[in-house]
Structure 1
Amino acid sequence: MSDDQQRPVQPDTPEPGPPQSLSKNALKKAARAERFAAYKVERRAREKEAKKEKKRMLRAKCAAGEIGEDEKRRKKKPRLHFGGRVVVDLGFDDKMNEKEIKSLCSQLAYTYSANRNATYPFSLVYTSLNGRTLTRLEGMNDAGYKRWTNTEWWPESYERLTVGSQENIRHNIIYLTADSEEELTELKPEETYIIGGICDHNRYKNLCLKRAKESGIRTARLPIGRYLASLPTRKVLTVNQVFEILLKWVETKSWEEALYAVVPKRKYQIGKSVSSMANSDNAEDREDRDEDADKPDSSVVVIEQAEAVEA
């Protein structure tokens, strides 16, 4: 047998080509992600050291008698539960693009952070948790949302609230929407308030209103037009802004104070009366709704900050 017959036939293998080069946008994104990862590690190290130093100084002051028991008690912020419940309806996953999903998750993190630091926190329930919203939350800070205190996460719809409930209980469930004909006058501890968890840039008209009507529950709108008449007619706010307004009302019992404390100042100018407020530019409204989505993983930063407070 010849050498050619003994030698096994080698399959033809293509010559390795030049490595595929990334586009400029992909390179920029990769560099930005790398910078942010390095920044996050550095920031966490700084925060850890700052926390240690703060505890050390506090112990030193206590040992020296510079901080008395009264001051210690004052430093401990009292937290009294209002009794009411806020539900964020996440059942709009199919109506948002990826950028809007990212922005929504940032808003959810801000709601938790605001509730965590509130004097009168609500019980928070997030419903219809699934799809891309769930996937993004799972990927944020090692699924940090599962460690949020005083919160519940339901894969089911908010309609679980009404299953087998009596008519008086159903009457105490209110879906907040700017399209409602009824204006909310006050918050009651026995009531549940639903906020539509959607970042849609005002594409879908009457979406939450129709949803609530199909469920047979009440709707109401915040009294924004009464105090901030210069805002756009439909008065679209982010999920966390609506939630923070509710928190502020519980604290102050004043819609005017709550609205002025939460709505960005650039959206209006304070005049002699509500009717004298100047109209704001629509581009600023869009900018305000987009500002979370444009930040790299801003929701991760908020979650870490909130968890640092709990630590």
Structure 2
Amino acid sequence: MADPLSTDLHVPTITPIPLTESTSTPASSATVLHPRTLPAVDPDDPAFQGLGKRAQKRLLRERRYLETKLERRRAEKEKARRKKAELRELVERGLAAPQPKKRKVEQEPTGLRVVIDCSFNELMTQKEINSMAQQIIRCYSANRASPRPTRDLVISSHGGRIKQRFDTQHQTAARWTGVTWDPRPYEEAFSTEELVYLTADATERLSELDESKVYVIGGIVDKNRHKRICYDKAIKQGILTAQLPIGDYIKMASRKILTVNHGTSDLCLFEILLKYMEYRDWQRAFLEVIPQRKFKENQGHGRKRRNGKGDKSGEGDGGDGESDDDEQGDEEEDEEGDEEGDEEGDEEGDEGGGEGGGEKKGEEDEENEENEKNEDKNGEKDEKDKKGKDG
């Protein structure tokens, strides 16, 4: 019987791999910064004087975003071209169905004139200024997509931080068609007799839209902090005020306060005006534009608050403000509107030689910024924990 230990076993030969220049680690390698690492704060830069640590990081992120904007835009366009080429190849090989062509909307402009009053710059935070700019973008987008667009959309008192926002983030807005950027207040551009300020605090209700009038929408995002500000301003100037007849057609779960484009804050609704001019039917316009969560019959069946409790702020007809869900939903709509308006503007610029548009800020950029903020918060928390343990 053969000894099992004497059986010849095949042992593979291991050849040592010599260290080459590509595999060896140099003794002194250059430090490569993480792409999200912010540069150091320049102590001689007056922009950083008097700012806290978080404010300095926020300013650095904004500067970096502007510096890399063109590079990101080129990468996005290249990515879009690559996807179109791949889809075209799949269609030619019969592996994918061709995309339906976009139908051009046949527009019949109306005589309706709408003014967005942007004289409330000093009453809004920077985040609210950004949201206001996004709502204006959605108004432009909705007007271009409407079969019955307005005769003119005027942005009055265009200056201050709202103008700075468009000059830095949405430069192509200056080429929008059908939009007038007027630095003057609306009372200087139009006669008092033809102005009607739309506000939820007005006692008069509109039965129909008069195309000989100029309807003013308050351009303010304040989460209902400043009560009756648009109404009081109009009364002081001797201008007619009116509210849309929402209560005559639908039951709202809270106050009948609507954003510039269509959501819910102390503003009025541009999209509803467009829908009414299209259908000449208030109820149909309200149902198509106002989010379902605003209706009274849907109260208690929507999303819950982040703390897990149900929404109680909108019970009854006399609610003083919006619920947390309303505010969260409106912010989501504003972000979607920003992307939607910018994408339409980009298409116009590509196809029509630069007509219209807004600078696209993609979801990846927003996600990266959010991740950076979270990383900053986590880093500060770790530093505090470490100091506490050392103490």
TM range (shorter): 0.7 to 0.9
User: 2:285 maps to which residue?
Assistant: 258
The alpha carbon displacement at 1:42 in A equals: 3.9
Q: Classify 1:187/1:222 alpha carbon distance in 2 versus 1 (closer, same or farther; 3 Å).
A: same
CA gap 1:114/1:50 in 2 versus in 1, 3 angstroms: farther
Of 324, 329, 342, the residue aligned with 1:283 is 324
Moved more, 151-160 or 41-50: 41-50
Q: In the alignment, which residue of structure 2 is the partner of 1:129?
A: 158
Q: Which digits, 9 at most, give the CA deviation of each residue in 1:257-302, with x for residues without a partner?
A: 1111111122336xxxxxx564674122111333356x5x973662
Of the structure 1 ranges 253-262 and 96-105, higher mean CA displacement relative to structure 2 is found in 253-262
- Aligned counterparts of 1:307 and 1:98: Cα–Cα separation in 2: 25
Q: C-alpha distance in 1, partners of 2:258/2:77?
A: 31
SS of the residue aligned with 1:240?
A: coil
For structure 2, which runs of at least 5 residues remain unmatched after alignment? Answer: 1-38, 42-52, 93-100, 263-268, 303-310, 312-322, 352-391
Instruction: Note if 1:177 corresponds to 2:199.
Output: yes
Q: Is the Cα–Cα contact under 8 Å of residues 201 and 289 in structure 1 kept in the other structure? A: no
* Cα distance in 2, alignment partners of residues 158 and 39 from structure 1: 38
1:60-85 residue CA offsets vs partner (Å, 9 max, x unmatched): 9xxxxxxxxxxx9x944211111110
Runs of 5+ in structure 1 lacking a partner? 1-18, 61-71, 270-275
Does residue 1:302 correspond to 2:341, yes or no? yes
Partner in structure 2 of residue 196 of structure 1: 218
Q: CA deviation at 1:147?
A: 0.9
Whether contact under 8 Å (2:124, 2:220) holds in the other structure is yes
Size of the alignment, in residue pairs?
Answer: 264
If the length of structure 2 is used for normalisation, what is the TM-score?
0.58
Q: Pick closer, same or farther for the CA change 1:246–1:177 going to 2, 3 Å.
A: same
TM-score, structure 1 length as denominator?
Answer: 0.72
Q: Does 1:226 align with 2:265?
A: no
Structure 2 counterpart of 1:160: 188
1:114·1:244 contact (CA, 8 Å) conserved in 2?
Answer: yes
Deviation of 1:188 after TM superposition, in Å, equals: 2.1
Equivalent-residue separation in structure 2 for 1:227 and 1:43 (angstroms): 45
- CA separation of 1:184 and 1:50: change in aligned 2, threshold 3 A: farther
CA contact (8 A) 1:89 1:127 kept: yes
The 1-side partners of 2:258 and 2:298 are apart by: 18
Partners of 1:115 and 1:290 in 2: how far apart?
A: 21
- Structure number with greater CO (CA < 8 Å, separation at least 6) is 1
CA gap of 1:305–1:54, structure 2 versus 1, over 3 A, is farther
Question: Partner of 2:274 in structure 1?
Answer: 247
Moved more, 91-100 or 189-198: 189-198
1:1-311 matches, within 5 Å, as 26=57, 30=61, 40-48=73-81, 75-122=103-150, 123-141=152-170, 143-162=171-190, 165=191, 170-233=192-255, 235-241=256-262, 242-268=269-295, 278=299, 281=311, 282-291=323-332, 295=335, 299=338, 302-309=341-348, 311=351
SS at match of 1:91: coil
- Structure 1 residues 54 and 305, CA, compared in 2 at 3 Å: closer, same or farther? farther
Q: Quote the offset at 1:44 in angstroms.
A: 2.7
The alpha-carbon deviation at position 46 of structure 1 amounts to 4.2
Structure whose residues are more often helix by fraction = 1
Q: Rg larger in 1 or in 2?
A: 2
Q: Which string of whole-angstrom CA distances, capped at 9 and with x for unpartnered residues, describes residues 27-83 of structure 1? A: 9x959959x95765443334456779999xxxx9xxxxxxxxxxx9x9442111111
